[in-house]
Structure formats: structure tokens, C-alpha cells
Amino acid sequence: MLSAFRVLSIVEGLSFLLILSVTIGWISRVYVFPLGISHGLLFVLYLIGSMMLAHQRRWGLGIWLPLFLASVIPLAFIAVELFLRRSAGEHQPEPQ
């Protein structure tokens, strides 16, 4: 679940940057509809995935809320990736 969410987080963050690139004018407005639909779907999947991951990891609102808010802040997906990478290391079984 964690690795799938990490991929989803990065893809959703990049799709957000693409939408912003249209606003800035770096990408043609012709692509607004397909980018918007794609980003909307990824955003909903991110929301559902973050809730499922928080439930699985028994994270409280104090961890889930910043994780969710990162989805609406450009480039915050990088901080989420760093947090999830560190979190993955905490839950690995210890060698015997």
C-alpha cells in the first residue's frame, strides 16, 4: 500500500504542476480539459489513498491532515515523498 501511495503522490503532484503550467502559459490551453480530468481523478485517488494509508498505519489526524494539505500546495509532494520514505524505514522488520 505504501509504495503504491508513494507513486500516486508523485504522479498527482506532477499533474498539479502541469495544470499550473497551463495557467502560467507554458502549456497550451488546448490541454486544459484532459489535464484537468486527469488531475481531478488523481486528486480523488490521492485523497482516498491517504485515508486508507493513514488507517492502515494508525496515523491520527495530526499526520493525515498535513499529508492531505500537501496535495494542494505545489511541490509539497517532495516533502510527502521524504516523509513516506522515512516512514517506510520505521516499519521494516528487524534482521534476525
Q: How many residues appear in the chain? A: 96
The grid coordinates listed for 37 are 480530468
For 52-90, the pLDDT digits (tens) are: 999 999 999 999 999 999 999 999 999 999 999 988 776
Entry pTM: 0.83
Amino acid at 38: S
What are the structural domain ranges in the chain? 2-88
Q: What is the DSSP letter of 94?
A: P
